[in-house]
Amino acid sequence: MGTAMHEPRRDACPRRADAAAWALGRLDGRAARHLARCAECAAEAKAVRETVRRVRAVPLREPSPGLTARIMQALPAAEAARPRFRFAFHPVRAAAAAALLLALGVAILTIPRVQHRRQTAAVAHRQRLDRQAGEAAVWIAAQQEADGTWRPSRTGGNDAYRPAVTALAILALQQQAPEAQAGAIRRGVSALVAMQTAEGAFCRTSGARLYNHAFAANALFALPERLAREPAVRTARERALAFSLAAQNPQGAWDYTAEGPGNTALSIWQIALLTQARGQGWNDDRGHLRRSLAWLQRQSDGRTFGYRQAGVLPPGGAGGLTLTAMAAATLLDAARAYPALLPAAETAADALRQPRFRDETEVPDYYRDYFLARVSAGIADQHALDEIQARLARAPAAGGAGGAHWVANDAWRQAGGDLYATSLALLSPRTGRLS
Amino acid sequence: MLLAGAGQHAAFERLVRRHQQPLLNFFLRSGVDWDAEDLVQQTFIRLYGYRQRYRPRAKFTTFLYLLARQVWIDELRRRRRRQRLREQAREQAELAAAAAPAVADAGFSDELQQALGRLSPRHREVVVLGVLQELEYAEIARILKIPVGTVKSRMFNGLRDLRRHLESDGHSDA
């Protein structure tokens, strides 16, 4: 259709393109003289001028009143988050600065050079991570206890989270070295199943119960089919799922107590479990998963996800980035089954690009970066993944028996220790799903 | 790094105030239907990063729209990736009734926007830069990395198509 529209007439004046230039006032004297002599071009020019007038008569959209302030506020944060743009700032006087910016031209060729440098660094980080990941899997296996569990206090964590850390270690080994560490994985799974209580949970300590339960149950649902088919594992999975369903409140959420209104972080881990179960054939005929996803969406104020209610973060105000990354990753996963969730998932993923969140990534946090990496992989944002990998590559590593591993230096180190940090580093995707 | 002093910051703010509206309308007319102000912000952040690298070789607006176009291309790439994700999700969907609703067009809804939307991308960007942003042919040629003669012919064809679309829209509305 477009081709037919552009097909030149054989008898058309070859200089008709000057008509548009004339209408835009960009014509030299020679072309102007041609227009004065050629009736066809003159008619064309007149029509084009009318189109230009009509187009320019449409009023411009006004920016919102706060746009300038938002941009100016974003500048220092953006500067801090993008070291590749750092360079010395000449002390140009204020009055001359705007004129200078307006007058000076560009070094266009610097753009591809900067991009090339960035890509080279990203490849180096990925290679380093791949190397370290291989050693880290050996290190994780070497930390396994005789009973098949992984004990957090061995690497600086708290043994109240033994089921969770055992689950993380199993997941990490399954991801990184399923064949080489098949024995360690199998012993870990048996130990996990043995930890399950009569209620179907994986922990008796009330404060740590739901996290332990969710990590352990998620690990069991992530096992390869040959392990998942084993009767003991199959039964453990069914009982674990039943416990989670029974713990859900009428609003569709989970909380530390049955009376709690719902806790976003806790609920997200349970939603992840239900999403996995659904993907493996569990029939949500009672609407547990749908209710929980509806509840999760209500925790957003449009940009950030709250801790217990929309717009409200945990005491201290930090954690908005982590919660939003957790929600975005969860919604992206669930959107594979419920495509109607995609707009909400994309909104949550977009919210992660808010300039105010850039400061939060300056603080080390393997847990946050694990979710950020999942989101980035989910939307195939390789640039964001590169930034996360750069942080992981710079994170402190230690040698020791069995190989290099990541050292926990974040807010969760007292709970999970180095085993937690190393497992999550291994579980963080290194490439986008679709790239 | 030396922080920008208050004077340089104020100068940059003046630059933002001066160019934010043309940039916003550039994105809207280029077909951004979602959060055009976010792209304006990204463009200024990139500009801020490059503020030391200007050389007196070209007009400032050339560089500004070069950056803006790159921001828009990056955004389009992101959208394409998401579209693939969306399609993949649809394929895996078990609930046909839960199909994702189309993203609402949050941009201009006037007949000009619709007519611009019917232009080929190559014609559209030349028309937007030349007619709406009032850049010179030489500037457009630098931004799009094409010869001036190509700008000229695309402008002619683009405006001619635009006129036809505007006329046909007018008739269909009547």
- Confidence grade of residue A92 (pLDDT, cut at 50, 70, 90): very low
Q: Are A389 and A129 in contact (CB under 8 A)?
A: yes
Of A218-222, B59-63, B146-150, B159-163, the least confident: B59-63
Q: What value does the mean pLDDT of chain A take?
A: 81
Q: pLDDT value at position A29?
A: 65
What is the least distance, in Å, from the CA of B72 to any CA of chain A? Answer: 15
Which residue of chain B is at minimal alpha-carbon distance from A109?
Answer: B53
Which residue of chain B is at minimal alpha-carbon distance from A69?
Answer: B13
For the stretch A194-215, pLDDT in tens is 999 999 999 877 778 889 999 9
Query: A250-254, A429-433, B93-97, B142-146 — which one is most confidently predicted on average?
Result: A250-254
- 3-state SS of A1-55 is CHHHHHCCCCCCCCCCCHHHHHHCCCCCHHHHHHHHHCHHHHHHHHHHHHHHHHH
Q: Which of B25, B95, B131 lies closest to A61 in CB terms?
A: B25
- Confidence grade of residue A236 (pLDDT, cut at 50, 70, 90): very high
Residues of chain B with Cβ-Cβ distance to A21 below 8 Å are 137, 152, 155-156
Domain assignment of residue B149, yes or no:
yes
Task: Give the separation between CA A171 and CA A194, rounded to whole angstroms.
Answer: 17
Is it the case that residue B71 has pLDDT exceeding 70? yes
For the stretch A272-306, pLDDT in tens is 999 999 988 899 889 999 999 999 999 988 778 88
- Confidence grade of residue A366 (pLDDT, cut at 50, 70, 90): very high
Q: Is B146's Cβ below 8 Å from some Cβ in A? A: no
pTM across the whole model: 0.58
Q: pLDDT value at position B30?
A: 84
The string of DSSP codes covering A290-310 is HHHHHHHHHTB-SS-B-SSBT
Q: Which of A85, A332, A336 lies closest to B92 in CB terms?
A: A336
Q: Which of A78, A105, A379 lies closest to B48 in CB terms?
A: A78
Task: Give the separation between CA A303 and CA A323, rounded to whole angstroms.
Answer: 11
Residues of chain B with Cβ-Cβ distance to A69 below 8 Å are none
What is the least distance, in Å, from the CA of B112 to any CA of chain A? Answer: 7
Sequence-ordered list of residues with C-beta below 8 angstroms from that of B102, at least 6 positions apart, any chain: none
Task: Give the separation between CA B163 and CA A51, rounded to whole angstroms.
Answer: 6
Is it the case that residue B84 has pLDDT exceeding 80? no
Q: Which of A21, A90, A108 lies closest to B152 in CB terms?
A: A21
Q: Is A18's Cβ below 8 Å from some Cβ in B? A: yes
Q: Which of B44, B81, B95 lies closest to A71 in CB terms?
A: B44
Element (H, E) at B73: helix B60-92
Residues of chain B with Cβ-Cβ distance to A111 below 8 Å are 70
Domain assignment of residue B1, yes or no:
no
Sequence-ordered list of residues with C-beta below 8 angstroms from that of B51, at least 6 positions apart, any chain: A89, A101, B12
Q: Are A417 and A154 in contact (CB under 8 A)?
A: yes
Task: Give the separation between CA A333 and CA A413, rounded to whole angstroms.
Answer: 27
What is the least distance, in Å, from the CA of B22 to any CA of chain A? Answer: 8
Span A59-79, average pLDDT: 75
Q: pLDDT value at position B53?
A: 62
Between A and B, how many CB-CB pairs are < 8 A?
Answer: 243
Buried b / exposed e across A344-360, counting CB within 10 Å, b at 16+? bbbbbbbbbebbebbeb
What is the least distance, in Å, from the CA of A104 to any CA of chain B? Answer: 4
Interchain pair A97, B90: CB under 8 A:
no
Sequence-ordered list of residues with C-beta below 8 angstroms from that of A110, at least 6 positions apart, any chain: B50, B53
Is it the case that residue B80 has pLDDT exceeding 80? no
Is it the case that residue B92 has pLDDT exceeding 60? no
Question: What number of other Cβ atoms are within 10 A of residue A1's Cβ?
Answer: 5
Of A43-52, A131-140, A419-428, the least confident: A43-52
Is it the case that residue B105 has pLDDT exceeding 70? no
Residues of chain A with pLDDT > 70: what percent? 83
Span A128-144, average pLDDT: 89
- Confidence grade of residue A100 (pLDDT, cut at 50, 70, 90): very low
Span B71-87, average pLDDT: 75
Q: pLDDT value at position B33?
A: 65
Euclidean distance between the first and the last CA atom of chain B, given in angstroms as a whole number: 61
Residues of chain A with Cβ-Cβ distance to B78 below 8 Å are 379, 381
What is the least distance, in Å, from the CA of A200 to any CA of chain B? Answer: 29
Residues of chain B with Cβ-Cβ distance to A70 below 8 Å are 37, 41
Q: pLDDT value at position A357?
A: 79
Q: Is B160's Cβ below 8 Å from some Cβ in A? A: yes
Q: What is the CATH number of domain A120-427?
A: 1.50.10.20
Which tokens is A162 given?
């033994």
Is it the case that residue B87 has pLDDT exceeding 70? no
- Confidence grade of residue A242 (pLDDT, cut at 50, 70, 90): very high
Euclidean distance between the first and the last CA atom of chain A, given in angstroms as a whole number: 33
Which residue of chain B is at minimal alpha-carbon distance from A20?
Answer: B156
Q: Are B165 and A1 in contact (CB under 8 A)?
A: no
Q: pLDDT value at position B173?
A: 38
Interchain pair A71, B41: CB under 8 A:
yes
Task: Give the separation between CA B39 and CA B37, rounded to whole angstroms.
Answer: 5
Span A414-422, average pLDDT: 93
Interchain pair B163, A48: CB under 8 A:
yes
Query: A4-13, A117-126, B57-66, B90-99 — which one is most confidently predicted on average?
Result: B57-66
Residues of chain A with Cβ-Cβ distance to B106 below 8 Å are none
Is it the case that residue A257 has pLDDT exceeding 80? yes
Interchain pair A89, B52: CB under 8 A:
yes
Interface test with A, best of B9, B15, B16 (most A CBs within 10 A): B16
Interchain pair A67, B20: CB under 8 A:
yes
Q: Is B78's Cβ below 8 Å from some Cβ in A? A: yes
- Confidence grade of residue A95 (pLDDT, cut at 50, 70, 90): very low
Q: What is the CATH number of the domain that holds B22?
A: 1.10.10.10
Q: Which of A2, A64, A94 lies closest to B37 in CB terms?
A: A64
Q: pLDDT value at position A315?
A: 66
Residues of chain A with pLDDT > 90: what percent? 40
DSSP β-ladder status, A405-406 and A397-398 = antiparallel
Of A165-174, A378-387, B12-21, B115-124, the least confident: A378-387
Instruction: Break chain A into its structural domains and give their ranges.
Output: 14-57, 120-427
Is it the case that residue B73 has pLDDT exceeding 70? yes
Which residue of chain B is at minimal alpha-carbon distance from A97?
Answer: B11
Give how far the C-alpha of residue B142 lies from the chain's centroid of Cα atoms, to the nearest Å.
Answer: 16
State the complex-level ipTM: 0.74
Residue B120: domain span: 12-173
Q: What is the dihedral of CA A128, A134, A137, A139, to 10 degrees?
A: -80
What is the least distance, in Å, from the CA of B156 to any CA of chain A? Answer: 5
What is the least distance, in Å, from the CA of A284 to any CA of chain B? Answer: 13
Q: Is B80's Cβ below 8 Å from some Cβ in A? A: no
Q: pLDDT value at position A117?
A: 66
| Closest to A320 (Cα-Cα) out of A355, A292, A283, A271 | A355
Is it the case that residue A381 has pLDDT exceeding 50? yes
What is the least distance, in Å, from the CA of A55 to any CA of chain B? Answer: 7
Span B142-146, average pLDDT: 87
For residues B10 and B171, which has the higher predicted lDDT (pLDDT)?
B10
Is A11 exposed, middle or buried, given 0-12, 13-18 or 19+ CB atoms closer than 10 A? exposed
How many domains, chain B? 1
Domain assignment of residue B49, yes or no:
yes
Domain assignment of residue B26, yes or no:
yes
For residues A272 and B39, which has the higher predicted lDDT (pLDDT)?
A272
Q: pLDDT value at position A433?
A: 46
For the stretch A319-358, pLDDT in tens is 788 999 999 999 998 988 887 888 888 888 888 887 777 7
Domain assignment of residue B87, yes or no:
yes
Backbone angles phi, psi at A398, to 5 degrees: -135, 155
Q: Are A105 and B55 in contact (CB under 8 A)?
A: yes
Span A109-118, average pLDDT: 55
